[in-house]
Amino acid sequence: MTIIETIQKRRSVRTYSGRPLSDEHIAQIEQFIRQTQVPFGAKARIELIRINSGEEPIKLGTYGWIKSASEYLALIYEEAPFAETAAAYWFEQVVLFCTSLGLGTCWLGGSFSRSDFKKQISLEPNEKLKIVSPVGYPSDKKRWFMEGVIVNAKKNHATRKPFGELFFDKDFNHPLTEFQAGIFTKPLEMVRLAPSANNKQEWRTVLDDKVMHFYKMPYILFDSIDIGIALCHFELTCKELGINGKFEVLENHPQNKKIVYVISWISE
């Protein structure tokens, strides 16, 4: 399965079969985590927590959002400039890998008990736990109140903001069309499909010739996480399509008082 296909397939799964992950799947996930580098020089780690690994099941609270998950992935990172964004980029890589294995996941930021999860991991004084995700086999049975009324996962992609509302040409006064985006059309479409807190999609880009500038709409808690996911989708898609480039923080970029510049992608 290609990255593009995986991004298109990924959805938030909140109801699981309760069946523990197979030893093969656990080994594949742990190997992928070991072999995948955290970007931008950040330091982070991912812990796989198994609820039924001991004599008694571990209790991990998710306030009713998740049901019957047997395993969770917990993202821990060392606090530093840009570390949260880098950690989110890396975590999304792992989420997409799990999707490619046919497993379900769901980004959780504010809807889990940090105290429960912190009992299962050892945090250093400079480390932070902000994101977790269940990982497992989706249930055939849906909880219609959670899956249908609240999130309606089947409509998530359909409710994404239109291309021209998120992406701009040269400045923030001119919406970018798919035709103008050229080779970046597919990478930006994968950004448009990226998950975000409450599906806010609070990131924007400006294409200036062969440079793509990325911005975030500042809001409490998850703006750095969401832009990390968006950067991941963009770069992985570019690599898959053979579009070479690199991320770099530039001094000169289009300005907008309502949003915050993050980083730019420079084509090579």
Give the model's pLDDT for residue 55.
Answer: 66
What type of residue is 221?
L
DSSP states of 90-133: HHHHHHHHHHHTT-EE--BSSSS-HHHHHTTS---TTEEEEEEE
Pick the closest to residue 133 from 190, 71, 64 (CA basis).
71
Question: Mind listing the pLDDT tens digit of every residue in the chain (268 residues)?
Answer: 999 999 999 999 999 999 999 999 999 999 999 999 999 999 999 999 999 876 677 889 998 899 999 999 999 999 999 999 999 999 999 999 999 999 999 999 989 999 999 999 999 999 999 999 999 999 987 665 555 545 454 454 457 899 999 999 999 999 999 999 999 999 999 999 999 988 889 999 999 999 999 999 887 689 999 999 999 999 999 999 999 999 999 999 999 988 999 999 999 8
Whether 135 and 88 have beta carbons less than 8 Å apart is answered as: no
pLDDT at 57: 77
Strand spans (E) along 121-251: 127-136, 167-169, 203-208, 211-216, 245-248
Nearest CA to 111 out of 94, 131, 91, 129 is that of: 131
Mind giving me the DSSP string for 195-210? --GGG---EEEEEETT
pLDDT at 56: 75
Q: Which two tokens stand for residue 205?
A: 């880009």
Q: Give me the numbers of helices (H) and strands (E) for the chain, helices first please.
A: 8, 9
Q: Cα separations (Å) of 30 from 42, 74, 85, 210, 266?
A: 19, 13, 22, 37, 32
Predicted confidence at residue 219, as pLDDT, reads 76
Domains with residue ranges and CATH for the chain:
3-149 (3.40.109.10), 163-267 (3.40.109.30)
Q: What pLDDT is recorded for position 145? A: 52
H or E segment at 173?
Answer: none
pLDDT given at position 203: 94
Amino acid type, 160: R
Task: Please check whether residue 192 is in contact with residue 229, taking contact to mean a CB–CB distance below 8 angstroms.
Answer: no
